[in-house]
A and B are shown apart, each in its own frame.
Chain A
């Protein structure tokens, strides 16, 4: 089962941990601005284009680069070991330790060593000492890092002081400089005594055999300098072709990781440097340099036709820093070493598909991480691909699987189900402050669905019936537009559809409503691309029709399905793919279409709504909430704002964090209501603070969520779709 109660317990524990919430929340708020500052004057798109290209090329040539790298290290006097997994690494290290009779091993930060639980397996061989401050702290309490760059971000300074006191055997005050000083002193002794040093590596250059390590504390330099033996653990994905390829990563990594121009230290090791004989000298000898090239699923990842893209990751963790879900729950919920969206992808290869099953469900698909990723990885879409792969092996639980696999797939059954819902939910429906119908509570096991935000009541007459009786008066007819309604508008908010028809009629277009079923997005999000294929084909029958000038949808999730998903899921079916491409080329989201039509008229911006339903002597303050799919997947950001700003009846103002996910996420709010609630509450707070009377949205899903949340909070603010606003219905 994808999300089980044990997993829910973990999530709730994280959500109720004030330290965690405080630390992650604060950092999440500060990071984007600090990062933007340090990237000032740099073309991020160009930079990440270069990194992605270099990394993709390296992945395509990984075997050749590995051979070249090994050859160069050996030529310079280093020893290379290839390890297929953790077991190999333990064995190699045990032999190195035995040959030297080594007792103490100092380690500088290496995520690869965490991934294979190295300390645990070598404890009996040597004393393993983590020397990165954060790593040392969590090592004392046997925890795993919760963040790739800041491993102890989940601990407060008070908790750290407790850990210090325990480790050092005397009371340590929760004063950060004091703790840092004590760590320096304690770890210095270990450095002086250590027999072996183990470090990770950020880049391994094939051309020169150079290994590059970025640190701020300086522990990697000491690890590489003090002990007579240095072992570098290198993952295959760190390979780079040329020495000059270091530059773009060095430019991006520190900026994306901690908003620094460069880390305090960049160490480049290309061979066994000098060291002191028997740790003290003064005689100088060459260091014993070992390189362990670790596979552990990496070669499979790098050669996977779809997931090789995840190999472009440079482990900056900025995707975690900006992820609204990670900000709420932190890294430990993810259960494995690599957290967040990228973590759920890496875990599938470094651990197993089963291990990523639950954690990949955590992604709400908001797309924010993708905007920040210096490796240019489309994390949310790769997660959907992963879900599809996981669901082939681990099916959804019975009822959900039946709904997606049978009801959703069958057009008639699906329509029947939604029509039934209308009368089945009627007894639980009542009117809200804004005059809309809401479901505030549901009986039996469904209570949780409506507890934290009211749900819309189902419409008595769906849009598909309503449009039949609508009189469309189009003067100076320019053409015909097909409307893809989508389930939410069709069955919950038919009035949005009616507004859309009226507005487009005024622009000179007749609107038709071809026979249609679900857009298939829910199937894609649940990992059932097989079902999405069938659904797409059913819809294409009606929509791939030359008589339509445009195909419009007023739900960005449906628009993404029309423009992207249909073609993607049908890519191996030539006939269907051709139709899907035709549909994709003509499909637009409502607000984008309006913007386009207005622009065609020469960019003359005039009032769209002929009348306004309420008497308003002064313009009404309206703010805009960006839907994740419209904003980040379809790249429509400015168009709705431009359209709202020119309406004389409206006074447009921006709210804080307008593009932050509202937590709806389709089936996500049913799957993980705990997280959805938190995301929604933050959004509601921003709305309350905005001074606006009306929130404009382009996504009926967001609208459902926001209206429900505001109804629960008894707010006076109202939420409208832009189609309604442009129709004067507010």
Chain B
């Protein structure tokens, strides 16, 4: 394991005043939805877990993958999914992740003005789960929604004390291209469908 992965990162301690305010959530939701992102609000951990299972059921998912998380109990999710006969793996198995139809991971920040989510993605497991399957579900804490892109950079500088994580991912909507005749087409190399669950 690389040295960075072991480092405990406390995002909450470095958020600007007013982060997570209701109007920031509203703006985040509006901007993300304009990019075809589905935004779900969950008032509790349990509600979030339920919502995640419901999303997979609705999409008739058979194979899903995830990474260890703090905002939801992934074991509880795994058990619930197994009851629904949905295979759910938390293993770092590259080929299984590539075959999976659905990935879930936790993101560290939201940006209200853009509908963007930010993740410390030094962990290769997190990266594979959030990049390879065609649908990704991101869990964020509503409290970590900041207003602007510049705000997010400030938080990052503080969180890492001037030495940003090896790999930071800013995700704004689904993967897309307009390379052929400038026609916007969703889902090239990354997930074509993005769902964000905001946990209060």
B175 and A247 contacting across the interface, CB-CB below 8 Å: no
The answer on a CB contact under 8 Å between A152 and B179 is: yes
A217 touching B167 by the CB < 8 A rule?
Answer: no
The 8 Å CB contact of B164, one of A180, A187, A270, is: A270
CB contact between B188 and one of A26, A219, A280 (< 8 Å): that residue = A219
Contact A208 B164 (CB under 8 A): yes
Chain A: CB-nearest residue to B190: A218
The smallest C-beta distance from B182 to any residue of chain A, in angstroms, reads 6
Q: Answer whether residue A603 sits at the interface, using C-beta atoms and an 8 A cutoff.
A: no
Do A176 and B94 touch (CB < 8 A)?
Answer: no
Q: How far is the CA of A246 from the CA of B164 in the complex (A)?
A: 13
B12 CB–A CB distance under 8 Å: no
Knowing A244-B154, A282-B91 touch, does A150 contact B171 (C-beta < 8 A)? Answer: no
Question: From residue B95, how far is it (CB to closest CB) to chain A in Å?
Answer: 8
**What are the residues of chain A within 8 A of B114 when measuring CB–CB?**
261-262
Across the interface, do B154 and A250 meet the contact criterion of CB distance under 8 Å? no
Question: CA–CA, A246 to B174, complex, Å?
Answer: 22
What 1/0 mask marks residues of chain B from 165 to 200 whose CB sits below 8 Å from any chain A CB? 111111111111111111101011111000000000
Is B5 interfacial (CB-CB < 8 Å)?
yes
What is the CB-to-nearest-CB distance from A137 to chain B, in angstroms, rounded to a whole number? 7
| Chain B interface helix/strand/loop/mixed | loop
Q: A280-B94, A284-B2 are in contact. Are A221 and B122 (CB under 8 A)?
A: no
Q: State in angstroms the CA–CA spacing of A217 and B179 once bound together.
A: 10
Docked-complex contact B166 and A180, CB < 8 angstroms: no
B75 at the interface (CB under 8 A from A): no
**Does B31 belong to the interface (CB within 8 Å)?**
yes
Interface hits, B5-50 → A, CB 8 Å = 5, 31
Q: State whether A132 and B179 are in contact (beta carbons under 8 Å apart), knowing that A273-B122, A273-B166 are contacts in the complex.
A: yes
Q: Which residues of A contact B2 (CB under 8 A)?
A: 272-274, 284, 286
Which of B53-61, B76-84, B101-109, B124-132 lies at the interface with chain A? B124-132
Contacting residue for B176 out of A76, A246, A264, CB 8 A: A264
Q: How far is A177 from B187 in the complex, measured between Cα atoms in Å?
A: 9
A275 CB to nearest B CB, Å: 6
Report whether B171 and A180 are in contact in the complex, using a CB–CB cutoff of 8 Å: no
Residues from chain B with a CB closer than 8 A to the CB of A118 are none
Please classify how large the interface on chain B is, using the bins under 10, 10 to 19, 20 to 34, 35 or more: 35 or more
Q: Which residues of B contact A188 (CB under 8 A)?
A: 98, 189
Query: Whole-angstrom distance between the alpha carbons of A658 and B31 in the complex?
Result: 35
User: A258 within 8 Å of B by Cβ?
Assistant: yes
B164, closest chain A residue (CB):
A270
Docked pose: A222 CA to B172 CA in angstroms = 16
CB-based nearest A residue for B170: A266
Binary CB contact string for chain A from 12 to 42 against chain B (1 if under 8 A, 0 otherwise): 0000000000010011000000000000000
- A331 to chain B minimum Cβ distance, whole angstroms, is 14
Q: Are B5 and A274 in contact (CB under 8 A)?
A: yes
Contact A258 B190 (CB under 8 A): no
Write out, one digit per residue, whether chain A residues 158-189 have a CB within 8 A of any chain B CB (1) or not (0). 00100000000000000011011101100110
A151 and B189 in contact, given A270-B165, A274-B2, A284-B2 (Cβ under 8 angstroms): no
A225→B171 CA distance, assembly (Å): 15
Instruction: Report whether B188 and A262 are in contact in the complex, using a CB–CB cutoff of 8 Å.
Output: no
Residues of A within 8 A of B113 (CB): 261
Which residues from A are CB-within-8-Å of B122?
273-274
In the assembled complex, the Cα of A192 lies from the Cα of B185 at a distance in Å of: 23
Q: Give bound CA distance, A160 to B167, whole Å.
A: 34
Besides A137-B180, A264-B173, 17 new A-B residue pairs in contact (Cβ under 8 A), listed by A number? A76-B163, A133-B177, A150-B178, A155-B180, A184-B189, A219-B188, A243-B162, A244-B153, A261-B114, A262-B172, A267-B170, A270-B163, A270-B165, A274-B2, A274-B5, A276-B124, A281-B94
Between-chain CB contacts (< 8 Å), 17 pairs: A133-B177, A133-B180, A187-B189, A216-B188, A217-B189, A219-B188, A225-B127, A263-B172, A264-B175, A264-B176, A268-B164, A268-B168, A271-B166, A274-B123, A281-B94, A282-B91, A282-B94
Taking Cβ atoms with an 8 Å cutoff, the residues of B that contact A are 1-2, 4-5, 31, 91-95, 98, 113-114, 116, 121-124, 127-128, 131, 148-150, 153-154, 156-157, 162-183, 185, 187-191
The 8 A-B pairs of least Cβ separation, nearest first, read A218-B190, A134-B179, A266-B170, A217-B188, A273-B167, A273-B166, A271-B166, A218-B189
